[in-house]
Amino acid sequence: MFDVIVVGGGHNGLVCASYLAKAGLRVALFERRYIVGGACVTEEPWPGVRVSMGAYVLSLLREEIIRELELRRFGLKVHIKDPGMFLPFPNGKKLYLWCDAEKTKKEIGKFSKRDADAYGRWQSFWGSFASLAEPFMLNPPPTLKEAKELLANFGSLEVNEADLLSCLQVFARDAKSMLDSYFESDEVKAGLCLDSVVGTFAAPSTPGTAYVLAHHVLGSVNGVQGAWGYVEGGMGGVTQAMRRAAEYYGVSIYTGAEVDEILVKNGEVEGIKLKDGRSVQSKAVVSNADPKTTFLKLLRNAELESDFKKRVSSLKSTGVSFKMVGYLDELPDFGNGKSLQPEHIASEVILPSVDYVEQAYRDALVYGCSKKPWFEVNIQSSVDPTVAPQGKYSFSIFGQYLPYSEKLDDFREEYATLILDTLREYAPNFRPIKYQLLTALDIERRFGIWGGNIFHLDMTPDQLFVFRPLPECNNYTTPIKGVFLCGSGSHPGGGVTGIPGKNAATRVIQWFGRDK
């Protein structure tokens, strides 16, 4: 008998399990795959070539979690990606976005002096937004009473009234109009719009995408605000450090142990049943799976109201992202040669304009895929030699839009060719020795995520904060006594943040102390 069983060894499950064990609870974690990490893993599909098969760069993992779980002590090491972004354009121009704001302003000044000045205001605004948003991010969604108290404290923040109104507008605003209000250069707007649609079946002009952008600009790496980085050894370096921490704090971890069902009797949890038929008892169960998998599969025999299940079924969870991994025997030449250049460290972004993304989205609606997808290329071995043999270069490509469909297997190779052909318009020598393309269907099968949605659920205004995943489950609880949620389908959402895991652990500890 355990106090708590955590279903799924993704990063939030590992974070949650660690905090629960640190609080003195007897915790077991069950993972269906042979490795923990969920979609935050390093795999070796070819000898000596190690790739981040799902998540690929790090920024959003909270420093508090890194510190409190001693993840650096357990092996976490991150290399800052600087420049952060590189965009080649069809006219031969190139844009680099650096961690250093002044350096980036000079780069932007090549396209527009006004935009160089506006970039400072843009960064200042996001600093104000972070001050406003962090109390909401680091805690369960507030009740109306708690929201009023938080709002009452905003007067003490260094945010003027105009910025406060603009910050509040972000939650419903579209990214395109927001970028238009700051910048005039199409190239600069292209460089800043990518984060507004990551993992989301929406265009930059869709209301709510300004918040998706916000969600991705609030991180830091090694104390550098807004930076992104490569985890040494690939993204599995995060979750392997988390595994070592969890085991140190006393968590029992079982891999190759797929949970078939969460067992419930008279509206109260009893434990789990594994695929092999074994049952394991516990006082509480925390699901790191997405809400649809949790309620419609794992709790399929629980007495959940039909209206509740219908609303779960209607949650927006269509995956639209694709992921390609592989390796090269030479660095891509974007016009500066094949020797190591700043662009090889950066995310090399094929996204020439905001209108390009808009068209890619429209194509996906009409044809079921983007005829000209946007995507970013990351060559981690440019800074981390541990992920590829000498003279070889492992790469990762993430992009959109390739919406989930059961027919995706039929044209996977055709679409892979389209991606590579599009990339070769900018770097003609990009010819992988080996590669694999994962569609949303592959992501669903490999990582167990419903619909292959990398955030578990779309991060649109109707599925955020008190609405995530549903109003009655927004505090990491469920209609079943003793069953909790800790995955990306919970507040505050997707990305390798660890926040849902930490917040859920706090809720479970409270339940054991007061509510049980």
3-state secondary structure string, 154-196? HHHCCCCHHHHHHHHHCCCCCHHHHHHHHCCCHHHHHHHHHHH
215 vs 308: which has the higher pLDDT: 308
The backbone torsions φ and ψ at residue 102, rounded to the nearest 5 degrees and listed phi first, read: -65, -40
Sign of CA dihedral 149, 155, 157, 163: positive
Poorest-pLDDT segment among 56-65, 105-114, 145-154, 350-359? 145-154
The backbone torsions φ and ψ at residue 279, rounded to the nearest 5 degrees and listed phi first, read: -110, 145
Is 58 domain-assigned?
no
Query: What is the C-alpha separation between 498 and 329, in angstroms, rounded?
Result: 35
Is 65 domain-assigned?
no
Residues 25, 107: one domain? no
Residues 335, 412: one domain? yes
Residues 363, 422: one domain? yes
Is 79 domain-assigned?
no
**What's the mean pLDDT when you consider all of the chain?**
94
130 vs 340: which has the higher pLDDT: 340
- Residue percentage of the chain with pLDDT more than 90: 86
The two three-digit tokens of residue 422, written as one number = 């599009």
Indicate whether 516 pLDDT > 60.
no
Residues 308, 290: one domain? yes
Query: What is the C-alpha separation between 373 and 268, in angstroms, rounded?
Result: 47
How does DSSP assign 418-437, residue by residue?
HHHHHHHTT-TT---SEEEE
Residues 346, 419: one domain? yes
C-alpha distance from residue 47 to each of 15, 57, 316, 437 (Å) = 31, 22, 38, 18
Query: For position 372, which CATH number holds?
Result: 3.30.519
Q: Residue 514, exposed/middle/buried by CB under 10 A (0-12, 13-18, 19+)? A: exposed
Mean pLDDT computed over 464-488: 95
Indicate whether 466 pLDDT > 80.
yes
Is 325 domain-assigned?
yes
pLDDT of residue 283: 97
Residues 304, 322: one domain? no
Mean pLDDT computed over 469-481: 95
Amino acid at 411: F
Residues 6+ apart with CB under 8 A from 153: none
Last residue of a domain, one of 447, 471, 490: 447
pLDDT of residue 127: 85
Indicate whether 144 pLDDT > 80.
no
> Counting runs of H as helices and runs of E as strands, what totals does the chain give?
17, 20
CA 177 to chain centre: 24
Residues 442, 501: one domain? no
CA 314 to chain centre: 22
Around Cβ 362, how many Cβ atoms within 10 Å?
14
Residues 293, 321: one domain? no
Is 130 domain-assigned?
yes
Sign of CA dihedral 358, 360, 365, 367: positive
Domain that holds residue 105: 96-197+204-216
What domain count does the chain have? 3
pLDDT of residue 153: 58
Q: How far is it between the farthest Cα atoms of the chain?
A: 67
pLDDT of residue 219: 86
Is 341 domain-assigned?
yes
Residues 310, 397: one domain? no
Is 274 domain-assigned?
yes
Last residue of a domain, one of 185, 216, 247: 216
Query: What is the C-alpha separation between 344 and 431, in angstroms, rounded?
Result: 15
Last residue of a domain, one of 447, 467, 491: 447
Query: What is the C-alpha separation between 224 and 232, in angstroms, rounded?
Result: 17
What does the pLDDT look like over 187-213, one tens digit per residue?
Answer: 999 999 999 999 999 999 999 999 999
Query: What is the C-alpha separation between 219 and 497, in angstroms, rounded?
Result: 9
Indicate whether 146 pLDDT > 70.
no
CB 320 within 8 A of CB 487: no
pLDDT of residue 159: 55
Residues 26, 136: one domain? no
pLDDT of residue 514: 64
Query: For position 274, which CATH number holds?
Result: 3.50.50.60
What does the pLDDT look like over 94-130, one tens digit per residue?
Answer: 999 999 999 999 999 999 999 999 999 999 988 888 8
pLDDT of residue 39: 97
Closest residue by Cα to residue 249 from 496, 29, 457:
29
Residues 510, 389: one domain? no
Mean pLDDT computed over 47-73: 96
Around Cβ 465, how many Cβ atoms within 10 Å?
18
pLDDT band at 151 (very low <50, low <70, confident <90, very high): low
Residues 323, 440: one domain? yes
